[in-house]
Amino acid sequence: MSASATPTFPPHLLDFQDWSRPQIESLLETARMMQEVLARPVKKVPALTGFTVATVFFEPSTRTRISFELAARRMSADVVSFSGAMSSTTKGETYRDTLRTLEQLGIDAYIIRADAAGVCHQAYRWLGKPVLNAGDGWRAHPTQALLDAFTLLQSLGSLEGRKIAIVGDILHSRVARSNAELLPLLGAAVVACGPATLLPASLPGARLTTDLREALEDADAVMVLRLQKERMDKGLLPSLPEYIAAYQVTQARLGWAKPQAPLLHPGPMNRDVELEGILAEAPQSLVERQVANGQAVRMAVLYHLLVGRKRSEG
C-alpha cells in the first residue's frame, strides 16, 4: 500500500459521519488483504506488535468481543478486556472513571460497546486516543455495517444502484442505522421495513416502509434484524405471532426479491421469529460468511486506526 494512494482517516471509527467513499473503499481493500492472511496456515502477522488494545464492553456481548480480540491478536497486538454492565441503578464507577483507569495502563486503542448512544463519542472526547465503536445503544455498529458491505460486495460485485432491504425493528437497531449510513456511500439504495411502531419517522440514507412486499420486491439483497423480545413488554408490538404473520422473512416472501438475492442477518438469530428457520442454511444465506468476514474487517479497521493512518500522515 503506497502512502499516496491511501486517503487520510479519521482518528476513530464512531460512525460513518466523517467518512468518504474512497476511505471506505480503501478500508475494504485492506480487509481483502486481511482475508488472505486468514487463509494462511499461520494466521498471524506482526503489524500491531507493541500496540495494546482494550476491549471495553459495558454491555455484555460474546460474539463481537471474540471477533475483535481475535482480530487484534492475529495482528500481534496485546489485548486486555474489561467488561462490566452499567445498570441505571449502579452507583459505582462511571464510564469515565473506568476509561481513565484504563488510560493509565497505556492503552493505544479502545474498542467500546455500551447500551447508550454516544458513549464512544464521549470516550473519544475524554481520551483523545483511537476509539472503535463496537455498538453504542441504538446508534451505530460500524464494523457490522462494514462486514455487511464486504459480504455484499463479495456476492454482488458492486453495490452501485442495488436495492438492499433491511427488515425488522429499525427504530432500535444500530445495525440498521449504520447500514443506512454506509451502504448509500457505496451507491446502494436502502429500504428499511418494519411495523409502524418500530420505525422512526425518518432515517437519513433509507426509505422507510411498513409494507414488507414493497421492501422485498426486486431487492438485490435482504438483511433481516433480530427482534428483541422486550419490544413486546414495552407495548410496542401486540404479539409475537402477529409479528411473525406480518413480517417474518419466509422462503415464499423471499421470492419477491431478485432470484438468489443474498440473505444476511447480524446474529444472534431468533429462528422462526424474524426469519423462517430453514432459510438460515439456504444457499443464498451469507450468515456464516458474515461472521468470518467480520474478523478480516475488524483487522483492517484496527490496522488503519493504529498504523495505516499514521503511515499516510507521515
Partner 1 sequence: MKGEILFRNVRLVDGRGDFGQADVLIGEGRILSLAGGEAPKVVEAKGLVLSPGFCDPHAHLREPGQEVKEDLESGLTAAARGGYTDVVSMPNTQPVVDTPEAVRALWEKARQIGQARLHPAAALTQGQEGQWLSEARLLQEAGAVMLTDDGRTNEEAGVLALGLRYAASWGLVVAVHAEDAGLRRGGVMHEGEVSFRLGLPGNPAYAESARVARDLELLRYALEYAPSVPRLLHIQHLSTRRGLELVRQAKREGLPVTAEVTPHHLTLTDAALASFDPVYKVAPPLRPRADLEALLEGLLEGSIDCIGTDHAPHTPDEKALDLLRAPFGIPNLEVAWPLLYTELVEKQGFPLATLVERFTDGPRRVLGLAPIHLEEGAEASLVLWNPAEARPVDPQAFASKARYSPWAGWRLQGWPGLTLVAGRVVFSASHPELLY
Considering the complex, state which of residue 29 and residue 115 has its C-beta at the smaller distance from partner 1.
Answer: 115
Q: Please list every residue from 122 through 161 that binds partner 1, using CB under 8 A.
A: 122, 125, 136-140
Here's the x/- map for partner 1, 157-196, by CB under 8 A: it reads as -----------------x--x-------------------
Length of the chain: 314
Q: Is 117 in the site for partner 1 (CB under 8 A)?
A: yes
Considering the complex, state which of residue 205 and residue 294 has its C-beta at the smaller distance from partner 1.
Answer: 205
Percent helix, strand and coil across the chain, each to the nearest 5:
45, 15, 40
d(CA 244, CA 307): 46
Here's the x/- map for partner 1, 35-74, by CB under 8 A: it reads as ----------------------------------------
Strand-pairing partners, residue 207, are: 191
Considering the complex, state which of residue 129 and residue 253 has its C-beta at the smaller distance from partner 1.
Answer: 129
For residue 252 the three cell numbers come to 415464499
Q: What is the 3-state secondary structure (H, E, C) of 197-247?
A: HHCCCCCCCEEEECCHHHHHCCCCEEEECCCCCHHHHCCCCCCHHHHHHHH
CB 171 within 8 A of CB 182: no
For residue 12 the three cell numbers come to 476513530
Q: Edge-to-edge strand order for the sheet containing 221-224?
A: 206-209, 189-193, 163-167, 221-224, 263-264
Q: Is 202 in the site for partner 1 (CB under 8 A)?
A: yes
Beta carbon of residue 118, minimum distance to partner 1 (angstroms, whole number): 3
Judged by CB under 8 A, the residue of 115, 214, 217, 272 near partner 1 is 115
For residue 211 the three cell numbers come to 409494507
Here's the x/- map for partner 1, 223-262, by CB under 8 A: it reads as ----------------------------------------
Judged by CB under 8 A, the residue of 200, 207, 267, 282 near partner 1 is 200
Binding site for partner 1 (CB under 8 A): 86, 88, 94-96, 114-119, 121-122, 125, 136-140, 174, 177, 200-204
